[in-house]
Amino acid sequence: MKRNFLSKIFSRIPTLETEHLLFRSVKRSDLKDINSYASNPKTSQYLLWEPHKTLQYTQEFIELVLSRYKSGEYSDWALVHKESGRMIGTCGFTRVDEENSIVEIGYVLNPEFWGMGLATEAATKIVDFAFNVLQANRVEAKFMFGNDASLAVMKKIGMKFEGYQRDALFVKGKFRTIGTASILKREYELNKKYAEFE
């Protein structure tokens, strides 16, 4: 993965699509939809950030994402639920190790839409993008101990749980144990090959 290649892609983040979701750039008009889930403590219980307390805070988050687009940095897609037309979360890349061809993915979903398989659908699409477009060799995801739902998503998309780092992050006044799961390109291609015969 080359830096100028990544910049070219993310400076004009492409629109993607799955059965139930549209992936597009985050927009200022997403303010109320983002705030509706980002202000819910349930959403960020196992995430690094605190619930958004004001619309202004959410606006600052949007401006941060827009600035990342402008500078060509990897960032998040907005997830739009096709049926409702609502912007219900984000999904994208939290880390890109260009030298070692490693991409880390992350996803956030409005709790109103949990339990519908949408996180799995979104993560699957992003993993496809990482391997097929970014040409990654390894895609990984991390989660806080106790977030069994997120680990379940990782396993559903073919990732293997690798283990925990005890008290690896100090988050919201506590040391948190962090789990890692990953899928390698050869495993991804093998899974796709098997899927063709199902």
Handedness of CA 187, 188, 189, 194 (dihedral sign): positive
Based on the structure, what is the number of domains in the chain?
Answer: 1
Render pLDDT for 26-53 as a digit per residue (tens, 0 to 9).
Answer: 999 999 999 999 999 999 999 999 999 9
CA 52 to chain centre: 19
| Residue ranges making up the domain that contains 114 | 3-196
What is the predicted pLDDT for the residue at 140? 98
Own/partner pairs, 176-180, CB within 8 angstroms, 24+ separation: 176/144, 176/145, 177/144, 177/145, 178/142, 178/143, 178/144, 178/145, 179/142, 179/143, 179/144, 179/145, 179/151, 180/140, 180/141, 180/142
What is the predicted pLDDT for the residue at 196? 67
How would residue 11 be classed by pLDDT, with cut points 50, 70 and 90?
confident
CATH number of domain containing 81: 3.40.630.30
Q: Is the pLDDT of residue 123 over 90?
A: yes
Residues in the chain: 198
What is the predicted pLDDT for the residue at 8? 84
**Beta pairing class for 102-109 and 138-144:** parallel
Mean of the per-residue pLDDT values for the chain?
A: 94
pTM here is: 0.93
pLDDT > 90: what percent of the chain?
A: 87
Q: Is the pLDDT of residue 5 over 90?
A: no
Mean pLDDT (whole number) for 170-177: 96
> Alpha carbon of 42 to those of 89, 91, 111: distances in Å?
13, 18, 7
Mean pLDDT (whole number) for 138-159: 97
User: Are 126 and 91 within 8 A, CB to CB?
Assistant: yes
Local structure of residue 157 (DSSP, 8 states): T
Mean pLDDT (whole number) for 4-13: 84
Q: Is the pLDDT of residue 198 over 70?
A: no
> Alpha carbon of 59 to those of 168, 177, 179, 187: distances in Å?
30, 31, 31, 40
